Structure 1
């Protein structure tokens, strides 16, 4: 069975900021989708990151410092639980789908490193952001999750909440697999393709940026950015 007709998991984080090197987890969601595309289970975490959540971040995901402090889990406990849940899915051979995965998995990598914990192996990640840019590289317009969902007709309710975004990422990945037969390979093989595609996409974008800024650098590592 193709990967998009097997059990698969959507993953998303909402955090304190845009820089994955510094961002701390505020919410996390893992949604399990069955072979028929139906939601089978969901895991969610609300985390008190231990620092004030910037207003601009709260405006995106809706979690204020006060809410995180009142209702959130201690970050040390939450990061371990999130990582262990991801490991369980990976160990079971279940692919994890994340839109712009290099952000979410880099955040997790740095959160684990701060605590001296073992990094995730991340053996089977599927990233609709990378795939969409590869299979339809000349399409005009933005490619945020909201834009891509609109293009592929995927419902996105409560955008910028980790639960909604993770489920929408699965929907976009499924649409891509249905539309482009070349994506219907083993999930591990698709993972390897994305490593190369992301590097090529980043190199091309870096070349474009260097027409104006010779020092521009675009990180092409995927799904975790090198330190």
Structure 2
């Protein structure tokens, strides 16, 4: 199996959470596998007290109960270690562009940690898998590595499997360059200004709304035209990172 061609470390990570709402749900487990250009690996897994109940239907998926995390540190307590591990690295995961990265960004902002995940080149192994062999993590592990995924939905098992799958994908497909820049670009569905996909770009690189009554319209134009819309967005139930992007656009507009 080919070694990843890295110019800096890459962190494969997986989150188990209280649910799938990026704005409201919390992390209950996080695993990070950091791979260095030398091939050396470092792995950490933390159970996290989400400071909210874990719904039974969610426990049924990942097996983590309220009792499992009641005496564990909160994300605010763990965040400095998480930031220290990820900072200066690229990031990779399975369905990470649509879920894990947006939710991690929310948790970091919520506890005041200034880690700009936009500076981390993201690789979503699921996107590569779906483009090459449309299916899920267990099927991908069986297909690419010829192994059964034991303890699926355990963050540590999922993270290790994702790392092995990416290396197998590079070995299998000649058209996949062993380059983080290429893999990051290839594993994007769409480029967005925020992580949750509420703010996109038009063909000229201007931020546009991707939802609601102003869908397809330039953000700057709407913030100028509809003075109350910015305030409504900031008070509505949108992810913190989306609000941060909107604030940056508003400040940029005001400084012109």
TM over 0.5: yes
Structure 1 residues without counterparts, runs of 5 or longer:
201-214, 218-224
| Structure exhibiting the larger radius of gyration computed from Cα positions | 2
Structure 2 residues without counterparts, runs of 5 or longer:
192-211, 216-240, 244-256
- Is the CA contact 2:10–2:35 (under 8 Å) kept in the aligned structure 1? yes
Q: Aligned with 1:181: secondary structure?
A: coil
2:187 to 187, 194, 202: 194
**C-alpha separation between the residues in 2 aligned to 1:55 and 1:33?**
34
Query: Is 1:179 aligned to 2:172, yes or no?
Result: yes
Structure-to-structure mapping, 1:61-76, within 5 angstroms: 61-70=62-71, 72-76=72-76
Aligned residues: 190
2:12 to 4, 10, 13: 10
Q: Give the Å deviation of 1:26.
A: 0.6
Deviant stretches of 4+, over 4 Å: 5-8, 33-37
Alignment CA distance shift 1:80-1:68 (3 Å): same
1:100 to 95, 100, 123: 95
Hey, what does 1:30 align to over in structure 2?
Answer: 32
- Is the CA contact 2:34–2:85 (under 8 Å) kept in the aligned structure 1? no
Q: Aligned with 2:113: secondary structure?
A: coil
Q: Give the Å deviation of 1:161.
A: 0.8
Q: Deviations over 1:107-137 (max 9, x none)?
A: 111112223332423422221111112234x
Q: Aligned with 2:19: secondary structure?
A: coil
Structure 1 length-normalised TM: 0.72
Alignment CA distance shift 1:46-1:5 (3 Å): same
Structure 2 length-normalised TM: 0.65
Structure-to-structure mapping, 1:124-163, within 5 angstroms: 124-136=121-133, 139=134, 143-152=135-144, 153-163=146-156
Structure-to-structure mapping, 1:202-217, within 5 angstroms: none
